[in-house]
Amino acid sequence: MDLSYWEKKIFLKNIDVAIIGSGIVGLNAAFNLKKNNPSLKIIVLERGILPSGASIKNAGFACFGSPTELLEDLKTISENELFKLVEKRYLGLKRLRNNLGDSFIDYHNWGGYELFDNEAIYTECSEKIDYLNKMMAVITGKKELYVKADHLIKEFEFEQIKHLILNKGEGQIDTGKMMLRLLSKVQQLGVIILNGINITSLNDNEIQVNNEWNISAKKIIVATNGFAQQLLGNNLEVTPARAQVIITSPIENLTIKGTFHFEKGYYYFRNIENRILLGGGRNLDLKGETTTEFGLTEIIQNRLEEILSGIILPHKKFTIEHRWSGIMGLGNDKMPIVKKLSQYTYCAVKMGGMGIAIGSLIGEEVATLVDNDL
Ligand SMILES: Cc1cc2nc3c(=O)[nH]c(=O)nc-3n(C[C@H](O)[C@H](O)[C@H](O)COP(=O)(O)OP(=O)(O)OC[C@H]3O[C@@H](n4cnc5c(N)ncnc54)[C@H](O)[C@@H]3O)c2cc1C
């Protein structure tokens, strides 16, 4: 492609930091670098017409850990590591809200619930509520974050559900509004965002675009989460994980309000105005869902519809109006990877399915790493 003198001079030359990926992490990295160093020339390179990984496809839970998920995680990482991570999610959400403003992202603290249809799992979990509350009080300052909430099963009109535990600190946001606000904040600071730019390889400080032409930058941040191995190779411990979502038509007299976790977090749903968003089911085909390809599968879509009509909305009339998928970045544990990979390249990936919560802080962390080296 023949680029004009102007394209080269104003947009593509003398770049201090190039950030690959305009999800929540990439944009927060840009935001912090530019805020602290207004004279830096920062460019964000995104292959989609919009941010196209998970940040604009997610469910909008402002969550930091449901009880069974935390107890499950304790089987693989130490108590200290886990609660440090939970603290990061909690503080990350505060940062997101402070940076963007609650009214701009439609933040509502309507609580998050865990649903139980199995007595044994509930008993095991409810016995640990005091322990979880003690650990979480240190982080949140709230004494009784998790409380039993069986009395609400009737109000929400759930079927097959025997118990509910409420997390009083959980909230929800409008994902689209969050990304719109973040994009406009970053652009207001003077960061250049280019869309339709597919980065095909990295070579020292050279970034190859569409296998055709190169951009060079003093520093490069890879913030491509689930797609990271495509540029950085298989040694990086982050694998793609597709997640499928559906949204119903508006529902008359919907009593469900809040965010909800079911089957150890494999299913999650919430109200959006008077509709229900439901996602999950990766556990039905973990191998098939380990992919960077967007798409919907019959087995997962059928199960989501079954849960909607059998458990969540058994007495309501609805149709499915929206279906989509997004790609997350997971690993053996839920710890994000923020590190310097070479003299030029840094990465901030593996958000572990909780990027709304930690993305703002992880963007900030990688920005500090780069800032210190500039
Ligand atoms: C369906 C779904 C529901 C979720 N629900 C929640 C939730 O409720 N709460 C929560 O905290 N988290 C949730 N998550 C996870 C959360 O959305 C992610 O952790 C977070 O958005 C990751 O942000 P990111 O910036 O690291 O990556 P992404 O948002 O994936 O951004 C990476 C960007 O890099 C771009 N890119 C990739 N490769 C290239 C390339 N070669 N060249 C140029 N650009 C490239 C992609 O197009 C993408 O825009 C959910 C995820 C999904 C998919």
Determine whether the shortest distance from the Cβ of 56 to ligand 1 is under 6 A.
Answer: no
76 has a pLDDT exceeding 90:
no
Q: Which atom in ligand 1 lies closest to the alpha carbon of residue 51?
A: 49
- Burial group, residue 169, by CB count within 10 angstroms (0-12, 13-18, 19+): buried
Residue nearest to atom 26 of ligand 1 (CA): 225
53 Cα to the center of ligand 1, angstroms: 4
Confidence of residue 211 (pLDDT cuts 50, 70, 90): confident
CA atoms within 13 A on the CB side of 249: 6
Q: Give pLDDT, residue 333.
A: 87
Q: Report residue 131 as tokens.
A: 């322990």
pLDDT score of 14:
94
99, HSE (Cβ side, Cα atoms, 13 Å)? 29
* Ligand 1 neighbour 231 (Cβ under 6 A): yes
**Interacting residues of 357 by C-beta distance below 8 A, sequence separation 6+:** 62, 63, 64, 88, 89, 90, 92, 93, 96
**132 alpha carbon – ligand 1 mean position (Å):** 29
Q: Which mutation among 224, 239, 297 tests ligand 1's pocket best, with the greatest number of atoms within 8 A of CB? A: 224
- Give, for ligand 1, the residue of 24, 31, 58 to mutate: max count of ligand atoms closer than 8 Å to Cβ: 58
> pLDDT over 70 for what percent of the chain?
100
Upper half-sphere CA count for residue 308 (Cβ side, 13 Å): 27
Give yes or no for residue 352 CB within 6 A of ligand 1. no
**Chain segment 307-365, per-residue pLDDT in tens:** 999 999 998 999 999 999 999 999 988 899 999 999 999 999 999 999 999 999 999 99
φ/ψ bin of 253: left (φ > 0), alpha (ψ from -120 to 50), beta (otherwise): left
Q: How far apart are CA 26 and CA 231, in angstroms?
A: 15
Report whether residue 20 contacts ligand 1, using a CB cutoff of 6 Å: yes
pLDDT for residue 1 is more than 90: no
Nearest protein CA to atom 8 of ligand 1, as residue: 61
Give the class (CATH, top level) of 5-56+176-237+333-373: alpha beta
Local structure of 162: helix, strand or coil: coil
The reply to whether ligand 1 has any atom less than 6 angstroms from the CB of 202 is no
pLDDT in tens, 216-231: 999 999 999 999 999 9
CB 45 near ligand 1, within 6 Å: yes
Where do the domains of the chain lie?
A: 5-56+176-237+333-373
Give the model confidence (pLDDT) of 139-176 as tens digits: 999 999 999 999 999 999 999 999 999 999 999 999 99
Question: Does any ligand 1 atom lie closer than 6 A to the CB of residue 183?
Answer: no
